[in-house]
Structure 1
């Protein structure tokens, strides 16, 4: 009665975290602090609500699945400014607004994975390890085989593309990459992105760049895959994903976009006509206003930078602290004190009342029993400054 592929999906990490922590009581009077979920707690700019209110007469209209011209034009303007693109490189026909990038990252498997026929090998979908669970969902629900590429400190927390054999690339249909990365906060440089795009075109698969943290960076502005595509003058074999959830603290808006290869975008519109949700017109107008405005983004970035400053001050070099180049997560190495991330997570919860997530919940154990997240915990710096400092001080207090 139920699609058998569902059995291939692992438990979602936050359910595993609840199973680990929820039956343990905290000391009396200790207020719990949740630093496990990457849900921005900063308020979005007033511009969001004002624009929705100004467009409240359009709730009764069916919105276009492909987005209004105004929204796609605003997105194009953002891309041109952010990545210094030539005005004619990414036009609005190469842009598709979506109801949050999670929906799009999952549905992309329906679009681009050609399921194996009887007797044929499954197509391969390559994902970084640790990974965002939706990448794997897109693969297994379309009968593809996920291949987990280790992204540990030995290779700068990015998959080593040179280590992948040609025989694997030849069977690859999708390569997911995330930069800035979740959870490690690394940023792919131009040479790395150039190599990834070169491989996609050599072996004719699609490079899927999840760039939803692109506007949250510490010092240097991360480059994007569209910049590298512009060098060759074509968007072929490339799709990039962006979101307002982190950029504008608008996770509840469920608004993002996909941009890239126009032929793939056109096919994606056709697919979403059948199975994709349309973003209501007031929300499309609000999204356009947010993509048009960079001031609130710079203010938001400063708030996160101040919290990373606090983390550096409170933790110092303990737990292998390093400043993430992008995003709002700390990826802390607990191996000097604890045997594994679950033990660390449990003790931090019981003694400090701070909820973090074990790194192995965000990664896959390989055939040799190695999990790149086993010695790490992820801490989300999403709350206001005082709460973040309190949580980090509690963690430091038990070291």
Structure 2
């Protein structure tokens, strides 16, 4: 077996299962799971219909590059969403079976394991796929702490020039999971300067890009920032996005990568052997989803209403700030985050995710310690009920107002 498999840490939800072992929550309370970022709003009917109406496509092998209709639809969406010079659907877009699969595979294609001690940079806290992808590609993951005292910015100065010179790939998540931080143009300018200076590729994870508060101010995207800074060829930049959060279809496993055509050409070669082509029915459903914005606006409204309703309930107990975007509260805990999550579950049957399960100690700091991630994915009624249980638990346990 690949010895690097032994370097992988248990996934956060396996650690959560172990944390809750032996705990029996109150039987009279229905469970409310706010731990996993799995959208639970209804999948739009027209997407389901497009999938079913094209089931005849199951009789054909799909191409790894995807059909023209899907690539052209994604290119049109990107061009419109980010006010770009028209994206080339043939060379700057590649459909993928969800961003998770593609983020992992991308590191395997990009990292040159024969180089001396290659590094892959990850935000911290982070989506654990980044770490696993780095380790199994033959690289060492290094982490940039994102702390509240620095407005959750990426601490680029925490790595030395010698370390940056070994970096081959950098994962960036904006809007961030779990912090909700959206990178601004100055942040991207500095990231591009580092990529140019040290020659690494940026993998920008934007799967939360369509969950935001102000309809007039959507989050800045990496391709949009590149264009604004004169980088129209998107050198050393590849963006990952998905329909899972945007369109409430996590089971569809549909997304895309877009950006640097030279990088995508090589990534397509890798994927031809990797065996991850999107089926034709899923492609048809994806075309329908990317072409419609009404359901996306409706989806944002549901999250907006939940944030507005939950914040005043949680604030007296767990002071929370609205994220820049996304559907998480990143909340401080009055005790160790693992103990808090376990006690909360035992008392209320509400599940939240300890921040330490989403982070690693770096430079003597674990930026997830003392936080929990609260995913506002359940129904409005369930989220309100969960917030009330959390507030009552904190008041009883810690004497909060």
Please indicate, yes or no, whether the TM-score normalized by the shorter chain is above 0.5: yes
CA distance, structure 1, for counterparts of residue 240 and residue 89 of structure 2: 16
1:1-399 equivalences in 2 (<5 Å):
2-87=1-86, 89-116=87-114, 121-219=116-214, 220-230=217-227, 231-316=230-315, 318-334=317-333, 337-338=334-335, 340-366=336-362, 368=364, 370-399=365-394
Mean Cα displacement is larger for which, 252-261 or 89-98? 89-98
Alignment gaps of 5+ in structure 1:
none
CA RMSD, 1 decimal: 1.3
Structure 1 pair 317/86, CA: closer, same or farther in 2 (3 Å)? farther
Shift of 1:367: 5.7
Per the alignment, residue 398 of structure 2 pairs with none
CA distance, structure 1, for counterparts of residue 60 and residue 324 of structure 2: 42
Alignment gaps of 5+ in structure 2:
395-401
- Contact map agreement 2:144 2:158 (CA 8 A) in 1: no
Aligned residues: 390
CA distance, structure 1, for counterparts of residue 46 and residue 78 of structure 2: 20
Shift of 1:69: 0.5
Shift of 1:169: 1.5
Shift of 1:162: 3.7
Q: Could you state the TM-score of these two structures normalised by the residue count of structure 1?
A: 0.95
In the TM superposition, what whole-angstrom CA distance separates every residue of 1:199-218 from its partner, at most 9, and x where no partner exists? 11221100110000000012
- Give the match's secondary structure for 1:251: coil
Mean Cα displacement is larger for which, 238-247 or 135-144? 135-144
Shift of 1:198: 2.1
- Contact map agreement 1:218 1:324 (CA 8 A) in 2: no
- Give the match's secondary structure for 1:177: strand
Q: Could you state the TM-score of these two structures normalised by the residue count of structure 2?
A: 0.95
- Give the match's secondary structure for 1:154: helix
